[in-house]
Amino acid sequence: MMDGGNTALNATLVNRIDLGRELAIVRVQPDAGEIPEFEPGQFLELALPSPPRPEVELATAQLAAGEQPRRARMTRRAYSLASAKVDRKVAEFYIVLVERGRLTPRIWPLVEGDRLWMDTQPRGHFTLDDVPRGSDVLAIATGTGVAPYVSMLRTYRATGRWRRFVLVHGVRVAADLGYRSELQQMAAQSSDFLYLPVLSREPANSGWTGLRGRAQVALDEPAVRDMLAASRSTGSTHVLLCGNPEMISQTQAKLTAQGFVPHTRQQPGNLHVERYW
């Protein structure tokens, strides 16, 4: 969590698509004209001025004549890029409203044309850089944790970057399945991509015929079991986990017991994680 810094607003919200009350796809255009080169899986920070604090207001009121007040402090948070690597004019993000959060309730009222701050430096190591070309990839997300995988799929689908890419997306109800139609369409068009949405709170009578429970139930799906089993002798499967930190700890414990090795910059492995909080 990042608070602070005196940073001028340098970007414009150019488009938002609300998926219900609490989820939005937000597109942001930098004044600089282009976002810097990034690798799918990286994030950019977004920020807005923090709400005024009474003690700062008082100090400002007491400034001597001619003294400049400090510029507003900013509340900054990280958001994974969902855009394809070639899309450099506008950065796309998939954001959930955290009702008691410090930044997202202030992003929510923004409309097209409103200003915000967007970092000029993409960051993070949750990328395919350390996943060899031609590997099997099992990508598991909860909620908005699907965003980095959308970027990877938009960028590398049908390029031979992986042998097979299985995406497991765990959300509460079907309405929370952001990017569902795009992902379904990709899966219908590509034999190397399998999309497995999993719903934890979908009403029993809704007509949903897919997987129910938490994301981990997908580990028992035949295609996933085969991928994991094959990896035991070859190490050929890389697992990516993104989103809810408890999902990550629980899945990581299960997979390390099966021989998967957490990837760090010091020790290469085949289990890569991105905790959102």
Ligand X SMILES: Cc1cc2nc3c(=O)[nH]c(=O)nc-3n(C[C@H](O)[C@H](O)[C@H](O)COP(=O)(O)OP(=O)(O)OC[C@H]3O[C@@H](n4cnc5c(N)ncnc54)[C@H](O)[C@@H]3O)c2cc1C
Which residues of the shown chain bind ligand NAP in the complex (CB under 6 A)? 22, 96, 98, 142-144, 170-172, 176, 200-201, 214-216, 244, 246-247, 250
Q: Which is nearer to ligand NAP, 35 or 215 (CB)?
A: 215
- Buried-exposed string 89-122: b where 16+ CB fall within 10 A, e elsewhere: ebbbbbbbeeeebebbebbbebeeeeebbbbeeb
Tell me whether residue 133 or residue 254 sits nearer to ligand NAP (CB atom).
254
Q: Is 69 exposed, middle or buried (0-12, 13-18, 19+ CB in 10 A)?
A: exposed
Given the complex with ligand NAP, which of 40 and 170 has the nearer CB atom?
A: 170
Question: C-beta of 166: minimal distance to ligand X in Å?
Answer: 20
Which of 162, 165, 193, 276 is close enough to bind ligand X by CB under 6 A? 276
CB closer to ligand NAP out of 53 and 254:
254
Residue 231: in which H helix or E strand, if any? helix 222-234
Between CA 179 and CA 53 the distance in angstroms is 38
103 touching ligand X, by CB under 6 A: yes
Taking the complex as a whole, the smallest distance from the CB of residue 143 to ligand NAP amounts, in Å, to 3
Closest residue to ligand X, judged by C-beta, is: 101
Write down the least CB distance from residue 208 to ligand NAP, Å.
13
Site string for ligand X, 52-91 (x = CB under 6 A): -------------------------xxxx-----------
CB of 145 to ligand NAP, least distance (A): 8
Q: How far is the CB of 276 from ligand X (least distance, A)?
A: 4
CA 109 to chain centre: 21
Q: Helix, strand, or coil here: 13?
A: strand
Which does residue 215 bind out of ligand X, ligand NAP, none, counting CB within 5 to 8 angstroms by kind? ligand NAP
Q: How far apart are CA 183 and CA 127, in angstroms?
A: 19
Closest CA to 257 of 226, 232, 221: 232
Which C-beta is closer to ligand X: that of 191 or that of 277? 277
- Name the one residue in this structure whose structure tokens are 């604090």: 53
User: Does residue number 269 form part of the binding site for ligand X (CB under 6 A)?
Assistant: no
Residue with smaller CB distance to ligand X, 92 or 202: 92
Q: Are 198 and 174 in contact (CB under 8 A)?
A: no
How many chain residues are in contact with ligand X, going by CB under 6 A? 22
CB proximity list for 196: less than 8 A, separation 6 or greater: 166, 167, 168, 169, 210, 211, 218, 221, 224
Strands 237-243 and 115-118: unpaired
Q: Is 38 in the site for ligand X (CB under 6 A)?
A: no
**How far is residue 56's CA from residue 66's CA, in Å, rounded to a whole number?**
17
Strand partners, 177: none
Closest chain position to ligand NAP (CB): 143
Per CB under 6 A, residues contacting ligand X are 1, 43, 77-80, 93-96, 98, 101-104, 124, 143-144, 147, 274, 276-277
